[in-house]
Amino acid sequence: MRAELDVVCLGEALVDLLPDRRGRLEDCDRFEACPGGAPANVATGLARLGARVAFRGVLGDDPFGRLLIRKLEAEGVRCAFRLTAERPTGMWFVALDERGERSFFSPNARFSADKLLHPGDVDRALLARAAWLHVGSSAHVLPEAQAALREAVAAARALGTCVSFDPNVRAHLWDDLGALRRLCADVLPLCTLVKVSADEAEVVTGEADPERAAARLASLGVPLACVTLAERGALVRRGDERFLVPADPVEVVDTTGAGDAFVAGLLAAIVARGGVEGIPRAELHRAVAFANRVAGRVCTRLGAVAGLPRAGDVSV
């Protein structure tokens, strides 16, 4: 029987404040408030590609929190947020250099509402309705939030729900990177799909080399591991299969959200094909190539969301 939802995303939804031009933040005068946060970007990308997606997380009971709910619902994401007056909704200012590479500044990153996830926020009834759970790590820096991630992943697997994990490492959020490594060590063996960038491979897997990182994930029992290599594409490992899927060249405006777009594209393609392990190699190659194209398209626009395609905009 087909699940009612394709994917439930759990984690942070934030406001990205995008400048009107490139350069240092202190030289920018105008900013646009846009939805952000890696799992929220994945949810938006999935919804635009036609997937049935829900989001679970914590927002401040404030104007930015209400803005995010309105924006996500307008995209077709089914929102299941807990609102709190204890902390504000997170906000991140994004600076872009001349190559479109971004840097971030947040006045409240360590103290925003998304960090207040706890095991009580794990909605087993929602997970039971979904084919996939997608999670990251940035909302899970506090001990209770780490417990929530461990519980969500374990609950999903017990319910027969597949798990997608993009750690999306933000090292400056963690007082102790050892806690992040331990969290990854607990979560990775329960995952169906893991995506890491080459830059974060060592923190997540203990291996800095992309080939070794992918092999390490496979050795942990991850059915499908992808190490993204920026403009070079993505290295894929499924069991003993290993191949590189090159990316098409694009004119880069902003790399914000490219990894999230890759995950959205890959999950959408896998959902359409019925799962990970039964996909023929050629079809898996096409699915990853599609994910590369979705990520590339995002890089041609400012912000993590503006360039996310809709179904039919990118060839499968």
Residue 131, in any domain of the structure: yes
Q: What is the pLDDT of residues 181-208, one digit of tens each?
A: 999 999 999 999 999 999 999 999 999 9
Q: Could you tell me which of 227, 230, 187 has the C-alpha nearest to residue 210?
A: 227
Query: Which pLDDT tens digit goes with each residue over 209-218?
Result: 999 999 999 9
Range of the domain at 162: 5-13+37-89+115-299
- Domain membership flag for residue 67: yes
**Is the residue at 172 inside a domain?**
yes
60 within a domain of the structure (yes/no): yes
- The rounded percent of the chain whose pLDDT value lies above 90 is 83
For the domain that residue 196 is a member of, what is the CATH number? 3.40.1190.20
CB within 8 Å of 282: residues ≥ 6 apart: none
Beta strands (DSSP E) in the chain are 5-10, 14-19, 31-36, 53-60, 78-84, 91-96, 102-105, 130-135, 162-165, 193-197, 224-228, 234-238, 241-245
> Is residue 164 within 8 Å of 191, Cβ to Cβ?
yes
Answer yes or no: pTM beyond 0.85. yes
